[in-house]
Amino acid sequence: MSAAPASAMSLGLAGCEVCGLVSRPPAGAAMARCPRCGERLHCRRPASIERCWALVIAALILYVPANLLPVLTTSTPLGGVSDTIMQGVIELWSPSSWPLAIVVFVASITIPLGKLIALAYLLITVRRGSVRSMEQRVRLYRMVKFIGRWSMLDVFVDTFVVALVQLKPLMWVEPGPGVIFFAGVVVVTMIAVNNFDPRLIWDLPQQEKQDHA
Ligand SMILES: [Zn+2]
């Protein structure tokens, strides 16, 4: 393996997360600010791992009622039917609309859980100071962040598609309580991703090297 370049932190420098200026915070100062834009400077986001873990666990807890509570109530003059996400997928599963069933399944069940598993994996490997597949892990982080931008699409796809397919005369559709928990999963996961500091992926191996030197 080629020698890893020195990090800004090991040289006593900090990069501003807003304007990108790299500066040297005064030694011993409790709180340094960027000399150009005034943003607070920190070498790594404070308590990044702890905050990210707390949010990942919170999102996992919200994921349970999001899947167990109905997300959609369809009412007809004969009565109402409430569907959870999975029941919606099963109802959509027919020769004509199976592609929509797959879209709803992937957008509402696989992707939210996949994001949380990916974040947990990143947190565990960072904590362990793993030196393996660092570039792949950065790619994974970018992917999770990229998908996050489209997250609200999950909720939209889920309610809209099922409603569209089921809509007939004298039928009305209302969102169920599961939608609130589902939106909670999406929002909390987005905050978790923002709290994760990807620079941590590159950190520990260098410290380890210094320890061994
Ligand atoms: Zn700045």
* Cβ atoms 15, 198 nearer than 8 A: no
The total number of structural domains that make up the chain? 2
The answer to whether residues 21 and 110 belong to one domain is no
Digitized pLDDT (tens) for each residue of the chain, 213 residues in all: 455 677 788 788 888 989 989 998 887 777 889 999 999 888 888 889 999 999 999 999 999 999 999 888 878 788 888 888 888 888 888 898 888 888 888 888 898 999 999 999 999 999 888 888 888 999 999 999 888 777 666 666 666 666 666 666 777 777 788 889 988 998 999 999 999 998 888 885 555 545 444
The answer to whether residues 91 and 178 belong to one domain is yes
The answer to whether residues 129 and 107 belong to one domain is yes
* Cβ atoms 131, 184 nearer than 8 A: no
The answer to whether residues 83 and 62 belong to one domain is yes
Domain limits at 87? 46-212
- Residue list, CB under 5 A from ion ligand 1: 16, 18-19, 21, 34, 36-37, 39
Q: Residue 140 C-alpha to ligand 1 middle, in angstroms?
A: 27
The answer to whether residues 79 and 159 belong to one domain is yes
CATH number of 186's domain: 1.20.140
The answer to whether residues 99 and 152 belong to one domain is yes
The answer to whether residues 73 and 171 belong to one domain is yes
| pTM reported for the whole predicted model | 0.81
C-alpha to C-alpha distance for 89 and 99, rounded to whole angstroms: 10
Cα of 15 vs its chain's centroid, Å: 24
The answer to whether residues 68 and 1 belong to one domain is no
| Pair type for strands 14-15 and 22-23 | antiparallel
The answer to whether residues 97 and 159 belong to one domain is yes
